[in-house]
Amino acid sequence: MSTLVQIFNRALERNGIHDPLTTDADDVPRADTLNLHWPSVRSQFLQMYPWAWARSSLCPAILTVPQLDPIPLSKGFQYDMPADSIMFRYILPDELNIEVEEWTDGTTAFLLTDYDDEIEIVYTYDLTTVTLWPEDAVTAVVLLLAMHSEMGLAEDDRFFQRNQNAFAEAMNIATMGSRLRENQKKLKRRPGLLSSRRGNIQPATTRTE
């Protein structure tokens, strides 16, 4: 379990700076640089892979036929994306092979489909509470943050290649760890809950931050 200031300090060390922050809100230039990059780095990292620990689902109400002219690909049914979604992953029930297209009107994201019954949207959400991140993911995001913030922290770019190589390895470890933990959870479930079926869609996942 890592805190944000610990992530920041590890990124500083990766760039050769051994002057740790007391809090992530310290009023010093290096903290400002890391805080500037952190939101985009976090979002980028979460979208890189369908992390099970940052995944949620929702069964939205079907909306009326979208007011688009023409309706893209003849898809006449609209579902709003969840407000906390940063990336759509897939729709259940998957055995129906529903065609989906993502759209936005500039303020609201939504899905257009050719299916007029209940669906479950599975998506990645912006998990900002880093203490809920597994440690292998934290290690990878530290390296990504170090790479993005290096120009504002280090005097030269000699750390970038080292961090880039380490990030590739850390991502492999994090993705394998995510798959392993998800498979272990599946083995613990009862057979009847392993998949959703039409007319028996499981309710949205409850999560805490």
Q: Quick one: pLDDT at residue 173?
A: 94
Q: Quick one: pLDDT at residue 155?
A: 58
Q: Quick one: pLDDT at residue 204?
A: 42
Q: Quick one: pLDDT at residue 115?
A: 74
* Phi, psi angles (nearest 5°) of residue 34: -70, -40
Q: Can you list the residues of the chain whose pLDDT is less than 70?
A: 63-76, 95-97, 105-107, 152-158, 189-209
Distance of CA 92 to the CA centre of its chain: 19
Tokens of 171: 């991502």
Q: Quick one: pLDDT at residue 162?
A: 84
Residue-range domain boundaries for the chain: 4-51+131-168, 53-126
* Phi, psi angles (nearest 5°) of residue 62: -70, 140
Cα–Cα distance between 1 and 132 in angstroms, integer? Answer: 7
Q: Quick one: pLDDT at residue 76?
A: 66
| pTM over cut 0.75 | yes
Cα–Cα distance between 113 and 119 in angstroms, integer? Answer: 10
